[in-house]
Structure 1
Amino acid sequence: MNSSSAKKLILRRSCGDGEVNYILTFKGYFLCDIETNDPAVMEIEDLESKFKAIFHTLMLFEHRCMKFKVEDTEISEIDENCVDVKNCIMDFLKTIDEVYPTFKTKGITLDCVFTLNPEFNASKAISLSPLAFKLLAAFADRKPIKEFIWKCGEPEEVLKEMKKLVDIGFLKIESEKEDAGNFIVSEDVMKRFEKELKDIVGPIADILIDGAKEELGIEGMPTRKQLLAMIDTISNLAGDYKEKILELKRRFE
């Protein structure tokens, strides 16, 4: 951004079977254009809000699996529609510093899934805002907050509205059902997995395991499901060894 010439920042992340792309065009500290195939961002018309949505994704959710490159481009002049990125980032960091910590005091995180509280006193008169109705519609899809927060509005307003719904008892955090088929694998099982993977790919096995753990956000000993996800991730990186690694997965299931 210290350059006076125009640049394109191209971001790519895997998303299911496809790829999500963001192309941000800058001239110095000014953001001039955004192109993307991300449906959640495409729906946002305001350029500043679009940038915040992408920055939110980068900072909180997708930084481990995002690839990027920078290319030179041409822009004639900075017009009134361009956005000062420094101010956008400061606004975003203010939201993170002030809003998210207060939300966590209620045990609410961005991975929480909410449901209507069956114990709510239906005779109690409440007035719901248009944003509250948007949130209730989003919760009907049984997705965590982070999956829809930017579709409903800017994080600060969305989180404040959600806090109101929780405070009056209208919503509650959905409890995770205990999964008897998921458990922390033993050290012996992990050692056996590491040994069998080394028998297939050689000493690079340690690097593949560390990379898979980082990509999946696994710390310490994995659960059964996390171990199977790790094997899937490793198989996608292992080229000619993919079939042998998938056979390894079938044994550890």
Structure 2
Amino acid sequence: MNSSSAKKLILRRSCGEGEVNYAIMFKGYFLCDIETNDPAVSEVENLETKFKAIFHTLMLFEHRCIKFKVEDIELAKIPENCVDVKNCIMDFLKTIDEVYPTFKEKHITLDSVFTLNSEFNTSKAISLSPLAFKLLAAFADRKPIKEFIWKCGEPEEVLKEMKKLVDIGFLRVESEKEDSGNFVISEDVMRRFEKELKDIVGPIAEILIDGAKEELGIEGMPTRKQLMAMIDTISNLAGDYREKILELKRRFE
């Protein structure tokens, strides 16, 4: 950013349906344009809001090993709707610092799912904003916070509205139930998986498995959920073998 030349920051992260890409164009400290195949972000028109949505996504999915590279580009002049990135990031982080601690005190995490609080005093008069109704629709779909917090509107406003709904007791957090379907897989199952993957892609199977473990931060024998995540990661790397590997996932689920 200290350079006067224009740069393009390209970010890539794997997800269940393939790869999400973000291309962010800068000139110095000014954000000039954003291109992405992420539908939730591409639909946002305001450039500052779009950047904050991407920034928040990076915070949520950092554990999925986002890959990036920087390229030099030609940019004749800074557009009128450019954004001062330093101020934008500092403003965003300030909001995160103010709102997230409240969630933590109430044992709310980004994976929390909300439902309407049946014990809420219905005689109490409250007014809900249009954003609150958007959030309630997301709650009805039983989505965790991280799936909608930056899709319903500007991230700062979503966080503040979330805090308001929680503080007045209109919503409650579903208690987390022990996931009996997740357990460390046996060595026999892992050997069978390695053999079946090798039947599909050949000797490169061991490299793909090691790469997926490193990307997902898995040490030792994976759990059932980690194995599913490994297969997703491998399928994104295996190109022409993708469909066969996803079929392998269905068998091991």
Using structure 1 for the length normalisation, give the TM-score. 0.78
Would you say the 8 A contact 1:197–1:245 is kept in 2? Answer: no
- Which string of whole-angstrom CA distances, capped at 9 and with x for unpartnered residues, describes residues 44-95 of structure 1? 2221111111111112225634333322222122243211111112222223
Alignment of 1:123-162 (within 5 A): 123-162=123-162
Aligned to 1:54: 54
Would you say the 8 A contact 2:194–2:205 is kept in 1? Answer: no
SS in 2 for 1:99: helix
Residues 1:241 and 1:163: Cα distance change in structure 2 (over 3 Å): closer
Alignment of 1:106-121 (within 5 A): 106-121=106-121
- Per mean C-alpha deviation after superposition, the further-off stretch among 230-239 and 98-107 is 230-239
Aligned to 2:190: 193
Residues 1:13 and 1:228: Cα distance change in structure 2 (over 3 Å): closer
Cα distance between partner residues in 1 of 2:144 and 2:16:
17
1:194 Cα offset (Å): 6.2
1:27 Cα offset (Å): 0.9
Would you say the 8 A contact 1:218–1:226 is kept in 2? Answer: yes
Residues 1:63 and 1:243: Cα distance change in structure 2 (over 3 Å): closer
1:248 Cα offset (Å): 8.5
Alignment of 1:32-111 (within 5 A): 32-62=32-62, 64-111=64-111
Residues 1:217 and 1:102: Cα distance change in structure 2 (over 3 Å): farther
- Which string of whole-angstrom CA distances, capped at 9 and with x for unpartnered residues, describes residues 79-119 of structure 1? 43211111112222223333222321111111111111223
Would you say the 8 A contact 2:102–2:163 is kept in 1? Answer: no
Amino acid at match of 2:153: G
Using structure 2 for the length normalisation, give the TM-score. 0.78
Would you say the 8 A contact 1:95–1:155 is kept in 2? Answer: no
Amino acid at match of 1:149: I
- Per mean C-alpha deviation after superposition, the further-off stretch among 47-56 and 129-138 is 129-138
Cα distance between partner residues in 2 of 1:244 and 1:45:
38
Counting matched residue pairs gives 249
Would you say the 8 A contact 2:52–2:155 is kept in 1? Answer: no
> What root-mean-square deviation, in Å, do the aligned CA atoms of Structure 1 and Structure 2 show?
3.5
Amino acid at match of 2:184: V
1:145 Cα offset (Å): 1.2
Residues 1:252 and 1:38: Cα distance change in structure 2 (over 3 Å): closer
SS in 2 for 1:101: helix
Cα distance between partner residues in 2 of 1:137 and 1:52:
22
Aligned to 1:212: 212
1:30 Cα offset (Å): 0.9
1:30 paired with 2:30, answer yes
Cα distance between partner residues in 1 of 2:2 and 2:175:
48
Amino acid at match of 2:32: C
Aligned to 1:171: 171
Greater RCO structure (CA 8 Å; 6+ sep): 2
Uncovered stretches (5+) of structure 1, i.e. residues with no partner? none
Residues 1:77 and 1:246: Cα distance change in structure 2 (over 3 Å): closer
Residues 1:234 and 1:80: Cα distance change in structure 2 (over 3 Å): closer
SS in 1 for 2:81: coil
- Per mean C-alpha deviation after superposition, the further-off stretch among 75-84 and 59-68 is 59-68
Uncovered stretches (5+) of structure 2, i.e. residues with no partner? none
